[in-house]
A and B are shown apart, each in its own frame.
Chain A
Amino acid sequence: MSNREATQAKIHELITPFNVKDAQLSDDATFMGDLEWDSLTVMDFVAAIEDEFDIIITMNMQAEIETVGQLVDAVEKLQDS
């Protein structure tokens, strides 16, 4: 498994408890549209991601992240830096 695949698998795992709509987790799936998350869910989920990968996803970055794939890429990038 490549690094990205490992990150993706971990992120999918972390999404699961919040995925009450049982949406398909493709890279194109959107948090607002497909997963139907509100701002409170987003906050809890972001905190879970941050704790797992020991990173900070600022609100400025969060505004740019709309899909699961974009989140995987962002987490990859933040881990490298």
Chain B
Amino acid sequence: MTDLLSKFDPLINERETLLSTGVRDPFALVMEQVKSPTVAICNGKETILLGTYNYMGMTFDDDVLAAGHEALDNFGAGTTGSRVLNGTYQGHKEVEQALKDFYAMDHAMVFSTGYQANLGVIATLAGKDDYVILDIDSHASIYDGCAMGNAQIVAFRHNDIEALEKRLKRLPEEAGKLVVLEGVYSMLGDVAPLKEMVAICKKYGAMVLVDEAHSMGFIGENGRGVCEEQGVIDDVDFIIGTFSKSVGTVGGFCVSNHPKFDIMRLVCRPYVFTASLPPAVVATSAASIRKLMHSGNKRAHLWENSKRLHLGLREIGYTLGTPEAQSGIIAVMVEDMMQGALLWQALLENGLYVNLARPPATPQGMTLLRCSLCAEHTSEQVGEILEIFEKSGKQVGAI
């Protein structure tokens, strides 16, 4: 018998080697208590959270929690059904309306996760003879959507405008083309040149989908993302987003002005063949989205935090993924998995949680410690974060 799990032996061995040195498993952290958007108890110790994507700190917002309690009491714990059968409640329509209002768009479709939103929309739009043109550093959910739709995949070098144009130029004029871009790339926290790229897509007759998972609520005057910030939101055909970052809950969505968009509800398999979000989740999401429309002050504070942490980490001697703060993500580059795991553990023991990211999630074989800031991090916390980074970096010889 061939053991089907034996193909994972190299990874099993690598993990065993790493863990045998005594470092804690960086992918098995348990938060015993969560006290606020920025503080949890891990291994019995109070820990500042700097790796949650909880950009706007909505997870403990009073109005959000109240909406959730009410929905739980009135609509029950779960829907036990697909959106197209028994799984669409009043709350699902309300959260879709909140999205339409937030983006000022005609259509909104809510999925059970952000992963499913990308998977479903890309697989449904781009079929066997269509082309998906994507940035090489695209998120796994985008690649999986391409594979599921059986589309022809054409990748171009990360954020390279010229490489995108060259490829679009070579594709058959009559072929269906979907260009998939991200507003903020989640590993390094860098922003895409959407203004130039969207113009090129239009020039070559390609439809454009932008994943704004890491920019919603934070970037752009109304928090609509990088396409709002760069003035191209009206030229983008589809925006994909998630509730599990700035919104502070779980779920995914697609918004669009395309007049035929609603047919997607019947033909998109990851939308049809799964249970819809629980009532409490759609209620908390709707309440959060409506509050995010009027969160200019929080956006400003998050920018201050991000810029200060970026500058501070550089001053301590760390190498970062971007030359300046471009989003709520700051990536601290480390030499390899061993140094990454040691620094990650030192930070945790000193009271700070960040994400350890490694290939294949990261581009170009990098290992990095990814920090994501929250609008609820106080100035004092940012100061404390910098102190912990300095102390831990010296302990393990990373700086």
Residues of A within 8 A of B (CB): 38, 40, 43, 47, 50-51, 54-56, 58-60
Contact = CB atoms under 8 A, between A and B. Distances in A.
B167 A56 contact: yes
B170 A55 contact: yes
A78 to B, nearest CB: 10
Nearest to A78: B170
A58 B365 contact: no
Contacts of B163: 47
Interface residues of B, number: 14
Contact of A58 (B154, B166, B364): B154
B170 A50 contact: yes
A63 B171 CA distance: 19
A58 B157 contact: no
A51 B166 contact: yes
Interface of B: 131, 136, 152-155, 157, 163, 166-167, 170-171, 364-365
Given A56-B170, A56-B171, A43 B136 contact: yes
A47 to B, nearest CB: 7
A58 B170 contact: no
Contacts of A51: 166
B131 to A, nearest CB: 8
Contacts of A50: 166-167, 170
Contacts, number: 27
Contact of A47 (B131, B157, B171): B157
A43 B365 CA distance: 13
B154 A43 contact: no
A56 B167 CA distance: 7
19 contacts: A38-B365, A40-B364, A40-B365, A43-B136, A43-B157, A47-B157, A47-B163, A50-B166, A50-B167, A51-B166, A55-B170, A56-B154, A56-B167, A56-B171, A58-B153, A59-B154, A59-B155, A60-B152, A60-B153
Chain A's interface: helix, strand, loop or mixed, by majority? helix
Contacts of B166: 50-51
Q: Which 9 A-B pairs have the closest CB atoms?
A: A59-B153, A58-B152, A56-B170, A40-B364, A58-B154, A60-B152, A58-B153, A56-B154, A59-B155
Contacts of B365: 38, 40
Nearest to A53: B170
B298 to A, nearest CB: 38
B180 to A, nearest CB: 13
Contacts of B167: 50, 56
Contacts of A38: 365
Contacts of A58: 131, 152-154
A37 to B, nearest CB: 13
Nearest to B170: A56
Given A60-B152, A60-B153, 14 more contacts: A40-B364, A40-B365, A43-B136, A43-B157, A47-B157, A47-B163, A50-B166, A50-B167, A55-B170, A56-B167, A56-B170, A56-B171, A59-B153, A59-B155
A59 B136 CA distance: 10
Nearest to B143: A59
Task: Give the interface centre of B131, B167, B170, B171 by most chain A CB atoms within 10 Å.
Answer: B170
A56 B152 CA distance: 11
A61 to B, nearest CB: 8
A60 B167 CA distance: 15
B170 to A, nearest CB: 5
A46 to B, nearest CB: 9
